[in-house]
Amino acid sequence: MSGGINIARTDKLRAFALLSPAYLWLTLAVFLPLSAMAFFSFLTEVPFGDAEWSVTLTNYSAFFESSTFSRLLLKSVMLGVKVTALCVLIGFPCAWVLAKMIKGRAREALFLMVILPFWSNSLVRIFSWAIVLRGNGVLDKFVNAIWPWDVKVNLLFSEWAIVIGLVHSYLPYVILTSYLALQAIDDSLIEAARSLGAKWWTILWRIVLPLSAPGLLAGAVLVFVPVVGSFMEPRILGGRMGTYYGTLIEDQFVAVFNWPLGAALSFILLAVVLIILAVASPILKRAQT
Amino acid sequence: MKAQLRTRVTTGIGIFYLSSILFFLYAPILVMAAMSFNASEFYQLPFQFSTQWYERMWENEAILSAAWRSIWIAIVTTVFATALGTAASVALWRYDFPGKRILQVLLFPPIAIPWLITGTAMLIFFFGVGIGRGTPAVILGHVALALPYVIVVVTARLATFDRTLEEAARSLGARPWMVTRRVMLPWIAPGVIAGALFAFAVSFDQFVISYFLSEPGDSTLPVLIYTAIRKGFTPEINAISTIIIAVSMVVMLTAARFTKFGGEK
Amino acid sequence: MSEVRVNNIVKTYKTARALDDVTLTFPDGGFFGLLGPSGSGKTTLLRTIAGFVEPDTGSVTIGDRPVVNVPVEAREIGMVFQNYALFPNMTVADNVDFGLRVRGVTGNDAKRRVAEALELVQLGPLGKRYPHELSGGQRQRVAMARAIAPRPRVLLLDEPLSALDKSLRVDMQIELKRIQREVGITTIFVTHDQEEALTLSDRIGILKGGRLVREGRPQEVYADPGDTFTARFLGEANVFDGKPEGSLLELLGGARVTRPEKATRIAVRPEHMTVSTVEPEGPNVLRAELRQRIFAGAMGTCVLEWQGQPVKAIARQEEFDGLPEKGAVWLSWSDRHARALTVD
């Protein structure tokens, strides 16, 4: 208890003791695997057993030589753009209604309802869309019940089905982040703008959007990144239509077993994702201040 | 009067819009629940009530064992991720040291990199070092994914903790461990519980990582469902899915109430 | 109870000196007010004594015990925080009990001491309440009771009354003084409110830019501030610069005034200024322009201008009523009210 204890040193030891388990775990399960994958992407063969292997760039050159790969990457990126745009267009107004138009307990309850599907299994949700969208399915029956003419609604195994399913899965992200950003905007700012004579679109454009941009963008990134790499949703809802960059990578690992090629394709995807994050990060940083 | 009317009309439109979104979010889930009680194997309408899919599910060994495996993997993941994550958040919050920013940035890869990439990378690495596929690999992966979520949630709660409370406790003679136990932990408890729920949800819902890391005969529920869907839909999947959704919603609702009670004041 | 001493304390943050060689003794059982504008280092000094701030160099002793290397929890201090820092998850009684429990005081002994402490701050019946169920003044009292209950060697108060509104603050000042007298504990408190410091303290210390510029009994320091900063910070002061002319000082415009202690700069408090319409006898007379009269009850303030410099005078009501709204007047003061200031 008496003097002589070096306070700063014991602090360092405590910090180390508290931090190292978590970061060791992350190293073992994330950082080392990513490094291993980087290494693999330059190999000719999987270096297990007594396989012959050497270092090569062919896995990367394969991507640039065949237009199939880049076409699929573009298709995945476009899918990401479509889904993200739809999520933002649908989700932001929804967050606005929640944050600024509804008050008190009703808001809490509604907010909870919006994010609740989030915690139900994503696979199960995608599967339920398959039931709804298939020919002779629920949507088909529903439309035919209210529509006087006979139509065939069979959206399953189309790009539409994939987009709907993905929007459904990721919409809560955008609503959640936009809601948090909008809630942080002091009502008095909007009142001040109104007292100065601003119309609602001016308020939206000059005040609300700039202030909530970081939150909105964070939501968009949270949607875009997983959608670009999605493979389960295209497989279930797209059927034969559903070949994307994600399914291509999946095939390398579970069907074709060309792991080095799969690793290279994964790293190209990672590069695309990192570029997008880098572009978004200056605006995202603003959210922290 | 006019302004009031306009406010009412806009609020009305807003509520209508919100209801449509809620309809969009819940309709497929409700359809799935309804179909699990429909007698037809091919989801034929008109609807005929039957509980046969639940009975069949109850006899389906593969589904039941996958469900149990999913649950206990989620529990193990929750315990590890919550303990390690809470410790790390406290350290990141309390201490200042060189490299702290880097450690904080390093939490993002598991969240920001598509799971497809992380999952395949884990597969490669675990194979290379001899861990291979199977339940230990799945748990390793799940904890790593859940950790950043726990840290983010607990850190958010810690940010609302008034540091002078800690100083007050120390000025009253409390040693560091006492300060943590009597003052800080009670305050962050709701955050830790929320973090634990996140970890459970991340693990229980996790498909991609489990898909690449679980052994064929030893799969978790989402992986089993995926395989079943690709081989052809079976309504037993509807039954188990409905149960999962119902249970997770009940859990989340209780959790939401519980965490509200824990603090704020 | 103990005397507290700090010797040659230096604390640097990045490049800014928060404390620059501060040496000060806080007498046993006294009520010491640390005063200064924001950024003057007064809170840093208090937190150095508490142990939350580790000084770069210098020593701190509580009683006869050097404590620089002793962690906060072993220093036997009691502290009241600006926002009170009451534990929200504990009742009032549990808050007060906290410091006893960590010292191993339990059972009836602890109960009795909690009750005593709450009695002392006149909150006897509120032990079962939670902090959020109390008013601001009550929370302040709980914070006091909690700090005192473990019988610390020194009580540290960090702007303890700043969160209260004006009238409550005045009541609490009286309470604080009473409690401190009853317990007889060495108390150091930090404030930026000069009036509060003058009311409460036996001694005050004034800090500026991390340096101790003045220390002494409040009356002493007020009457003879010594330097320009202290003169202006503690109350108001009219400051005049001049050229020495033997025992006199020649001010701008040629007016000659008495020169105390060979100073070239003097200060006169507004309440010691006399404003009149006829030229008074004696020295220390200036011709000034009355710009504005502000009525404020028993006293009135006159805003004047002399040689382009603003001058303030406070006049009693009958004097005040006799003055015109504006125009040329005479300003004067008696020799004993002119104080020498150092020029820095």
Structure tokens at C308: 């382009």
**Selection from B137, B187, B190 nearest residue B161 by Cα:** B187
Same-domain status, C209 and C279? no
**Selection from C83, C78, C82 nearest residue C96 by Cα:** C78
> Residues B164-220: pLDDT tens digits?
999 999 999 998 888 888 999 999 998 898 899 889 988 988 899 999 999 887 889
Same-domain status, B114 and B87? yes
**Selection from A90, A119, A142 nearest residue B21 by Cα:** A90
Residue B71, class by beta-carbon neighbours within 10 Å (0-12 exposed, 13-18 middle, 19+ buried)? middle
pLDDT of A40: 86
Task: Give residue B258's pLDDT band: very low, low, confident or very high (50, 70, 90).
Answer: low
Cβ contact A3–C54 (<8 Å): no
Same-domain status, C189 and C281? no
Q: Which of A270-284, C54-68, C88-102, C148-162 is predicted least confidently?
A: A270-284
Structure tokens at A10: 């014991």
Q: Does some domain include residue B45? A: no
Chain B residues with CB-CB distance to C102 below 8 A = 169, 172-175, 178
pLDDT 10s digit of each residue in chain A, 289 long? Answer: 333 344 567 778 888 999 999 999 999 999 999 999 999 889 887 777 667 778 888 888 888 888 889 999 999 999 999 999 999 999 999 999 998 888 878 888 888 888 777 767 788 888 888 888 876 777 777 777 777 777 776 777 888 899 999 999 999 989 999 998 998 888 888 888 877 778 778 888 888 888 888 889 889 988 998 999 999 999 989 887 889 999 999 999 888 888 899 999 999 999 988 888 888 777 766 654 4
Task: Give residue B1's pLDDT band: very low, low, confident or very high (50, 70, 90).
Answer: low
Same-domain status, B24 and B131? no
pLDDT of B2: 65
Domain that holds residue C276: 268-340
Which residues, numbered 27 to 56 in chain C, qualify as contacts with chain A under a Cβ-Cβ cut-off of 8 Å? 54
> Residues C290-334: pLDDT tens digits?
888 888 888 888 899 988 889 999 888 888 888 888 888 888 888
Q: Does some domain include residue C255? A: no
CB neighbours (10 Å) of residue C174?
11
Q: Does some domain include residue B41? A: no
Q: Does some domain include residue B196? A: yes
Rg (chain A; Cα; Å): 25
In CATH, what number is assigned to the domain containing residue C61? 3.40.50.300
Q: Does some domain include residue C241? A: no
Q: Does some domain include residue B248? A: yes
Give per-residue burial for C16-47: e unless 16+ CB within 10 Å, then b.
Answer: eebbbebebbbeebbbbbbbbeeebbbbbbbb
Cβ contact B168–C156 (<8 Å): no
Structure tokens at B176: 């560091």
For chain C, the chains sharing at least 3 beta-carbon pairs closer than 8 angstroms are A, B
Which run of H or of E encompasses B7? helix B2-36
Give the whole-angstrom CA distance, residue C264 versus residue C229. Answer: 16
Task: Give residue B88's pLDDT band: very low, low, confident or very high (50, 70, 90).
Answer: very high
Q: Does C153 touch chain B (CB under 8 A)?
A: no
Structure tokens at C43: 């809170």
Q: For chain B, what is the domain count? A: 2
Give the whole-angstrom CA distance, residue A121 versus residue C290. Answer: 82
pLDDT of B247: 82
pLDDT of B31: 85
Q: Does B247 touch chain A (CB under 8 A)?
A: no
Rounded to a whole number of angstroms, the distance from the CA of C61 to the nearest CA of chain B is 16
Q: Which of B29-43, B70-84, B136-150, C265-279 is predicted least confidently?
A: B29-43
> Residues C224-235: pLDDT tens digits?
888 889 988 888
Same-domain status, C90 and C209? yes
First to last CA, chain C: 39
Q: Does some domain include residue B44? A: no
pLDDT of A287: 55
**Selection from A228, A268, A246 nearest residue A81 by Cα:** A228
Q: Which CATH class is domain A67-288?
A: mainly alpha
Q: What are phi and psi of C246, to 5 degrees?
A: 65, -120
Rounded to a whole number of angstroms, the distance from the CA of B160 to the nearest CA of chain C is 12
Give one DSSP letter per residue of C123-189, joined into a string: -GGGTTS-GGGS-HHHHHHHHHHHHHTT--SEEEEESTTTTS-HHHHHHHHHHHHHHHHHHT-EEEE
Give the whole-angstrom CA distance, residue B181 versus residue B191. Answer: 15
In CATH, what number is assigned to the domain containing residue B139? 1.10.3720.10
pLDDT of A8: 66
Q: Does some domain include residue C178? A: yes
Give the A:C interface size as CB pairs under 8 Å: 18
Is a pLDDT exceeding 60 seen at residue B52? yes
Q: Does some domain include residue B21? A: yes
CA dihedral sign, ordered C267, C272, C276, C280 = negative
Structure tokens at B159: 């940010």
CB C161 within 8 A of CB C169: yes
Same-domain status, C66 and C128? yes
Give the whole-angstrom CA distance, residue C8 versus residue C20. Answer: 8
Chain centre distance of CA C204? 6
Same-domain status, B207 and B135? yes
Q: Does some domain include residue C256? A: no
Task: Give residue B233's pLDDT band: very low, low, confident or very high (50, 70, 90).
Answer: low
Which residues 6+ apart lie within 8 Å of B196 measured at CB? B78, B81, B82, B150
Q: Does some domain include residue C245? A: no
Q: Does C53 touch chain B (CB under 8 A)?
A: no
For chain A, the chains sharing at least 3 beta-carbon pairs closer than 8 angstroms are B, C
Rounded to an integer, the average pLDDT of C161-166 is: 84
Domain that holds residue B18: 1-35
Task: Give residue B263's pLDDT band: very low, low, confident or very high (50, 70, 90).
Answer: very low
Same-domain status, C166 and C216? yes
CB A34 within 8 A of CB B121: yes
Give the whole-angstrom CA distance, residue A130 versus residue B237. Answer: 13
Structure tokens at C76: 């036997």
Which residues 6+ apart lie within 8 Å of C109 measured at CB? none
Q: Does C132 touch chain B (CB under 8 A)?
A: yes
Q: Which of B196-200, B211-215, B248-252, C37-41 is predicted least confidently?
A: B248-252
Nearest CA in chain B to A22: B84
Is a pLDDT exceeding 80 seen at residue C78? yes
Rounded to an integer, the average pLDDT of B38-63 is: 80
pLDDT of B18: 92
Please give the angle made by the CA atoms of A73, A79 and A84, to the nearest 5 degrees: 130
pLDDT of C188: 95
Beta-bridge partners for C61: C5, C66
Task: Give residue C141's pLDDT band: very low, low, confident or very high (50, 70, 90).
Answer: very high
pLDDT of A270: 92
pLDDT of A105: 80
Same-domain status, B17 and B83? no
Q: Does some domain include residue C18? A: yes
Rounded to an integer, the average pLDDT of C35-56 is: 91
Q: Does some domain include residue C263? A: no
Give the whole-angstrom CA distance, residue C328 versus residue C238. Answer: 18
pTM above 0.80, yes or no: no
Nearest CA in chain B to C49: B171
The secondary structure of residue B214, as a DSSP letter, is: S
Q: Does C16 touch chain B (CB under 8 A)?
A: no
Give one DSSP letter per residue of C265-328, joined into a string: EEEE-GGG-EEESSPPSSS-EEEEEEEEEEEETTEEEEEEEETTEEEEEEEEHHHHHTS-SSEE
Same-domain status, B4 and B54? no
Same-domain status, B14 and B69? no
Q: For chain C, what is the domain count? A: 2
**Selection from C292, C290, C272 nearest residue C332 by Cα:** C272
ipTM of predicted assembly, 2 dp: 0.86
Which residue type occupies A268? I
Give the whole-angstrom CA distance, residue C82 versus residue B92. Answer: 26
Chain B residues with CB-CB distance to A33 below 8 A = 118, 121-122, 124-126
Same-domain status, C74 and C195? yes
Interface test with A, best of C48, C59, C69 (most A CBs within 10 A): C69
Chain C residues with CB-CB distance to B170 below 8 A = 51-52, 71-73
